Structure 1
Amino acid sequence: MDNALYVGLSRQMTLRRELDIVANNIANANTTGFKVEQLMVRTEPAKPARTVGGSYPVKFVLDDGVARDFSQGALNQTGGDFDLAIEGQGFFKVSTASGERYTRDGRFTMSPEGKLVTQNGAPVLDDGGGEILIDPLKGAVTIARDGSVSQGAERVGKIGVVRMADLASLRKDGDNLYRNVSNDTPQPATDAIVHQGMLEASNVQSIQQITKLIEVNRAYESVAKMMDQTTELSRSAVERMGKVQ
């Protein structure tokens, strides 16, 4: 196969992956706490079948991972007692069957047992790693800007908000959760502000992502056209060689 076709195919593979990422961004434009993603690519030199006077080496395009933008999303008022949003850097800690996970999605609720939990029933953890228990008989729940949870004059816990030394250590784990894949221990996010009755919106800019979707489609079509032209050129060359012989 012609080197140009190999290069074109490598580019099409990355464009298809990028299309999936952009489509996922658009689909999550209204997901609480979702962080926009983008594809990272790199070039890799390779030894091709050489042609006298041709370029050497040929550089192929490869998928080099996904970059995630953790910038602040807009804070929207909901009025819900258990709706929480973080202003600044930091993540809520939750406990799952697979271990401790982190999220910016503050759509919490109270379980029948009185635990503060996520929408999927995972317990929200306090600053010491324990579960937060709420007694409905003790009155309304008030959550301060530092995450302290109170019922009347009684303090019942403090929402655990932590930050990572390196955000690249976080990997998506489903249900709008992240897991820490490094050996670094998350530290308390002392400067983060917790807002009760508010939720953080996705930081996806829908217009930008739709524009990107169009750009990716056009780029894919352009590469496909180039590959078709290369194939046609090779076919014509072979036919001419056959006629000369």
Structure 2
Amino acid sequence: MDISSYVLLSQEQALRRRLDVAANNLANMNTVGFKREQPVFREYVEKTDSAVKPAKQTSFVLDYGAVHDIAAGAFQPTGNPLDVMIDGPGYLAVEAPDGTTAYTRAGFVKVLETGELATSGGQRILGEGGKPIIVAPEDAGKLSIGSDGTVSGASGPIGRLTVTVFDEANMDPRGDGMFNGASGRELTAAETSLKSGGVEGSNVNAITETTDMIEILRAYQTSQHITDSMADMRKQAIDKLGRVS
């Protein structure tokens, strides 16, 4: 396999990566709090033997990972006064099934039988100081959540939902609608802005993703056409060499 074949192969691998990301975005267009992903590539330049003419450097495509589009999704009313949407950057902290702290923007909130606030999946929501918020039985049906995250019952404030912000490069999807995060900072009450009574929809645009998939398909077809053309050229060269011999 010559250098040009390796270059085309790296391009096709990058196109496959783009297609996987676009397909995952489309699959999650109705997932609450989902942020569309965008793959990131960079050029990798390999120095070749000085005898190779005319080029002495070859550029390959290197998969550099993916970044999240942090644009907010639309507010979706749910009729549940406990459901919240984060109005701005950041994530709610929850206790993951493995006991670690995970983060999510899916703001479905309910009260467990134990009186603790939790997500729709049953993961306990962590408030200030990483502690769960516990609601007394007499307050369970009279809860409200303020724009600063304060959870109040009939007897007054109970706790506060905290929002943690990160450098998005430090966010790692877990595959269960939650993220692992590192080096985050909890926002103060004055910095926090929540909307209650609904959740944040996905920020995926179906038309954009479908158009991107069409462009990826056309680029792959072009790459395949070039590969076939190169194979024909090799075959013709071998045939001519055979006749000369």
Q: Please give the TM-score of this superposition, normalised by the length of structure 2.
A: 0.93
Residue in structure 1 matched with residue 186 of structure 2 by the alignment: 187
Equivalent pairs, count: 242
Partner of 2:207: 207
Tell me, in whole angstroms, the C-alpha distance in 2 between the residues paired with 1:90 and 1:60.
36
**Alpha-carbon offset, residue 89 of structure 1:** 1.5
SS in structure 2 at match of 1:128: helix
From the superposition, tell whether residues 11 and 76 of structure 1 become closer, same or farther in structure 2 (CA, over 3 Å): same
For each residue in 1:152-204, what CA deviation from the matched residue of structure 2 results, as whole angstroms up to 9, or x when unmatched?
2321111111212x2211111222111124xx242325423111111101111
CA drift at 1:53: 3.6
**CA separation in 2, counterparts of 1:108 and 1:155?**
17
CA distance in 2, matches of 1:163, 1:65: 21
Contact 2:150–2:160, Cα closer than 8 Å, also in 1:
yes
Quickly say closer, same or farther: Cα 1:41–1:185, change in 2 above 3 A.
closer
Amino acid in structure 2 at the alignment position of 1:140: K
**After the TM superposition, which residues 66-215 of structure 1 pair with which residues of structure 2 at under 5 Å, given as runs?**
66-96=66-96, 97-138=98-139, 139-164=141-166, 166-181=167-182, 184-188=183-187, 190-215=190-215
Supply the AA of the counterpart residue of 2:232.
Answer: E
CA RMSD of aligned residues (A): 1.7
Q: For residues 203 and 168 of structure 2, what CA distance do their matches in structure 1 show?
A: 16
Question: Between the two proteins, what is the percent identity of the paired residues?
Answer: 34
TM-score (norm 1): 0.93
Name the structure 1 match of 2:38. Answer: 38
Structure 2 gap segments, 5+ residues each? none
Q: Is the CA contact 1:88–1:191 (under 8 Å) kept in the aligned structure 2?
A: no
> Which one-letter code corresponds to 2:147 in the other structure?
R
Which is worse superposed, 28-37 or 154-163?
154-163
Aligned-partner Cα distance in 1 for 2:217–2:51: 32
Deviations 1:132-159 (A, max 9, x none): 1123433321111111111123211111
- Secondary structure in 2 aligned to 1:174? coil
Q: Structure 1 residues 134-143 or 155-164, which shifts more?
A: 134-143
The range that moved more, 94-103 or 233-242, is 94-103
Contact 1:3 1:48 in 2 (8 A): no
Query: d(CA) in 2 for partners of 1:239 and 1:3?
Result: 21
Q: Which runs of 5+ in 1 are unaligned?
A: none
Deviation per CA, 1:90-134, whole angstroms, max 9, x where unpaired? 211111224111111101222221211112221001122111112
- Worse overlay, 79-88 or 44-53: 44-53
In the superposition, relative to structure 1, how do residues 79 and 91 fare at CA in structure 2: closer, same or farther (>3 Å)? same
